[in-house]
Amino acid sequence: MSRSVLVTGGNRGLGLAMARALAGAGDKVAITYRSGEPPQELVELGCLPVKCDITEPEQVEQAFKEVEDAHGRVEVLVANAGINRDTLLLRMSEEDFSAVLETNLMGTFRVVKRASKGMLRARTGRIVLISSVVGLAGSAGQANYAASKAALVGFGRSLSRELGSRGITCNVVAPGFIDTDMTRELTDEQRKVIMEKIPAARYGEPEEVAATVRFLASEEAAYITGAVIPVDGGLGMGH
């Protein structure tokens, strides 16, 4: 069955891999992109790109209207868009902290709230939130980012309690270090230190996160909700 899927931040990195995987499974996929042009590859796959900055409530509303007009109400939401502004606490400005919370937590709240309206009416739906291993384990120099990603766990688990009886699942995926623009910013020294802690002894591929998201979005995953699924090569074991 072809469902209406929305992936935020689907123009690159993990979101692009998720859009590919879900479109490949036969779903009608829409992605949000904030800057630049949407990838031609997705247009060729039949995906619908909608421009949207998730920190702007009017843009979120407009994006949902465009998706609903083209594909019907959103049945699967993947709240993936996120940013980091890494620095040590004493150097971290109010702006560094609030910008990360505003995108990663508030932006996720906005899209989830909007998607849940249609899901509640239909009494079915799939919500997947993209957190991070550092939300559970913490990370020096990432207090803002880790706080925002930890918050998604409490947010998602509350939603699974609130929406579970209506056939809606809400799960959290916690990727480890995946090879995307976000992790390419790390220095060689940082990469070396991180690599030593990963039992799988390698970075993950975006497709490995996408496969987990595709499963959580599937019919087969109907009895999984409120879960936090690590895709981290063992990095976060014990959390």
Contact pick of 83, 147, 153, 194 for ligand NDP (by CB under 6 A): 83
Strands 76-79, 48-51: pairing is unpaired
Assess 156 for contact with ligand NDP (CB under 6 A).
no
Contact pick of 39, 82, 125, 156 for ligand NDP (by CB under 6 A): 82
Q: Give me the amino acid identity at 27.
A: D
Q: Annotated binding residue at 80?
A: yes
Assess 12 for contact with ligand NDP (CB under 6 A).
yes
Assess 210 for contact with ligand NDP (CB under 6 A).
no
Of the candidates 100, 152, 99, the one whose C-alpha atom is nearest the C-alpha of residue 127 is 152
Q: How far apart are CA 92 and CA 141, in angstroms?
A: 9
Assess 9 for contact with ligand NDP (CB under 6 A).
yes
For ligand NDP, the closer CB: 52 or 77: 52
- Residue 111 near residue 59, CB atoms below 8 Å: no
Of the candidates 104, 33, 107, the one whose C-alpha atom is nearest the C-alpha of residue 67 is 33
The residue range among 74-82, 114-122, 191-199, 210-218 that interacts with ligand NDP, by the rule CB under 6 A, is 74-82
Assess 118 for contact with ligand NDP (CB under 6 A).
no
CB of 201 to ligand NDP, least distance (A): 16
- Residue 98 near residue 145, CB atoms below 8 Å: no
Residue 116 CA: distances (Å) to CA of 9, 69, 74, 127, 175: 19, 17, 9, 9, 24
Does the annotation count 223 as an active-site position? no
Q: Annotated binding residue at 147?
A: yes
List residues forming the annotated binding site for NADP(+): 9-12, 80, 145-149, 178
* Residues acting as catalytic residues: 145
